[in-house]
Structure 1
Amino acid sequence: MDPDQDAAAAGPLVVITGMTGAGRSTAAKELEDLGYYVVDNLPPSLLRDVVRLVDENRGTGQPIAVVVDVRSGSFFGSLQANLAQRATGRRATLVFLDATDEILVRRQEAARRPHPLQGGGRLLDGLQRERAVLADLRGAADLVIDTSGLNVHQLTDRIAEAFGTADTTKLRVTVLSFGFKYGIPVDADFIADMRFLPNPHWVPELRPGNGRDADVAAYVRSRAGAEEFLDGYVPVLEGVAEGYLREGKRFMRVAVGCTGGKHRSVAMAEEIGRRIAESGHIVRTVHRDLGRE
């Protein structure tokens, strides 16, 4: 069996990295709950040794997750080399957790902990140094999760969504509805704007409902341009999805927005998710701002 086949047969290897305060420990705990063997603050140079020891003691099918961050110091720069498939015998998924500087500062101050790269400067100085160190890794990550607007439970849900099934051969697509007035999801791969459709908010009998209700959904999809959009947009997403799989990417996040995230975006996100699922991908439809009004 060649190395590629060996890696495909072995259990998953998930490497968690990202900004201090973005939720690495929370993600690691959830992976542990999902049955992963978790190692925190691992120097990348020891990655192959950890995989070998786990393989010897628990078998090659044991899922492994490691947390690597700037505390690894000079070892950090070797991470990408050690993630090479032939180096570990497993196909690795690199997860990068991020958040805005404002949120990260707030979290660090609440925890009353200095930043590891802060030195004698400000907390923000440490964050900016960390962003510079991690810039290449963020660009190479298989999955980027922006935790700025997520609480602990929502983050664990995202991790479970990504790694809670043994089936790693299919693309996992999240279709997310949102309201533009609450902010654009910064970790989306695609953003579609449904504000070109008439708003059911201005139809008195439809205003109390939402896009998951049959009458609201029927109204939205019956408006001029709605079906034409779906017929044109979904094949584009499916084409990209196939390309992602060819390139070894297993996650795609599609955001669908309207003004408040209640009617148009919800109805269209539901239909987009349904159509993509028909192609055999694993689809989860989430309504970020539904019920917020």
Structure 2
Amino acid sequence: LKKALRREIKLLSRIREEAATIIDTSSLTPHQLRKLIIEFYLKKGPKEMTVNLVSFGYKYGIPLESDLLFDVRFLPNPYFIEKLKPLPGTSEKVKKFVLSQRDTGEFFDKLYPLLNHIIPLYKKEGKSYLTIGIGCTGGRHRSPAIVQEIGETLKKQKLEITVTHRDLDHLS
């Protein structure tokens, strides 16, 4: 089996190099995959570059389709606060906690200038999709809160944005 997998990887590597989009389907449900395919391929009109924001948990592996990865495990973890532990990072209470941290503000102060610099360069290079992975330990609290905020900010810049919370439903 290992030999067959190595052969398959070798045979497909040329196709992978030419691919405009690579989707790692190993952790997607059929519904998530359908949504991604619809978002990627069924939109009408001239295609702008889409920025895909993916929150994830490092303990479940990094999203292989990521072009850029950012680790937010340096932020205080709501998991250890009893009233926040059961809530997802998309809830207002968890978002408020994560976004109110001084280090979160400093992270954004450095991240947004970087993204504002490199996104136009990726567009200029002809890239159709840019996938940015934001990870924390379990992908349930910090990274979803950060991804939501980045998505809202980038949408204000008239960028086409998709948001996926890959590991939000995992129970730690």
Please, what TM-score do these two structures have when normalized by structure 2? 0.89
Partner Cα distance (2:11, 2:92) in 1: 49
Query: 1:216-235 residue pairs with structure 2 within 5 A?
Result: 216-235=94-113
> 1:195/1:243 Cα in 2 relative to 1: closer, same or farther (>3 Å)?
same
Where has structure 1 moved over 6 Å in runs of 4 or more?
none
Query: 1:83-232 residue pairs with structure 2 within 5 A?
Result: 124-232=2-110
CA contact under 8 A between 1:277 and 1:283: conserved in structure 2? yes
Partner Cα distance (1:152, 1:200) in 2: 30
- The alignment's C-alpha RMSD in Å is 1.8
For the pair 1:269 / 2:142, whether they are aligned, the reply is: no
- Which has the bigger relative contact order, CA under 8 A and spacing at least 6? 2
For the pair 1:279 / 2:142, whether they are aligned, the reply is: no
CA contact under 8 A between 2:28 and 2:166: conserved in structure 1? no
SS of the residue corresponding to residue 146 of structure 1 reads: coil
SS of the residue corresponding to residue 144 of structure 1 reads: coil
Give 1:265 shift.
0.7
Kindly provide the CA deviation profile for residues 2-30 of structure 1, in whole angstroms up to 9, marking residues without a partner as x.
Answer: xxxxxxxxxxxxxxxxxxxxxxxxxxxxx
Partner Cα distance (1:124, 1:199) in 2: 39
CA contact under 8 A between 1:178 and 1:288: conserved in structure 2? yes
- Identity among equivalent positions (%) equals 38
For the pair 1:244 / 2:116, whether they are aligned, the reply is: no
Kindly provide the CA deviation profile for residues 59-86 of structure 1, in whole angstroms up to 9, marking residues without a partner as x.
Answer: xxxxxxxxxxxxxxxxxxxxxxxxxxxx
SS of the residue corresponding to residue 102 of structure 2 reads: coil
Partner Cα distance (2:37, 2:31) in 1: 10
Letter paired with 2:100: S
Deviation larger for 216-225 or 126-135: 126-135
Partner Cα distance (1:283, 1:237) in 2: 13
Kindly provide the CA deviation profile for residues 247-290 of structure 1, in whole angstroms up to 9, marking residues without a partner as x.
Answer: 21110111111111111111101011111212211111111111
Aligned to 1:253: 131
Q: Which has the larger radius of gyration?
A: 1
Letter paired with 1:287: H
- Structure 1: tracts of 5 or more residues without a match: 1-122
Partner Cα distance (1:150, 1:207) in 2: 24
- Structure 2: tracts of 5 or more residues without a match: none
SS of the residue corresponding to residue 207 of structure 1 reads: coil
CA contact under 8 A between 2:49 and 2:160: conserved in structure 1? yes
Aligned to 1:120: none
Kindly provide the CA deviation profile for residues 97-155 of structure 1, in whole angstroms up to 9, marking residues without a partner as x.
Answer: xxxxxxxxxxxxxxxxxxxxxxxxxx554443332233233123221112222343332
CA contact under 8 A between 2:27 and 2:166: conserved in structure 1? no
Give 1:224 shift.
2.4
Deviation larger for 152-161 or 172-181: 152-161
Letter paired with 2:84: L
Please, what TM-score do these two structures have when normalized by structure 1? 0.54
Partner Cα distance (1:231, 1:214) in 2: 22
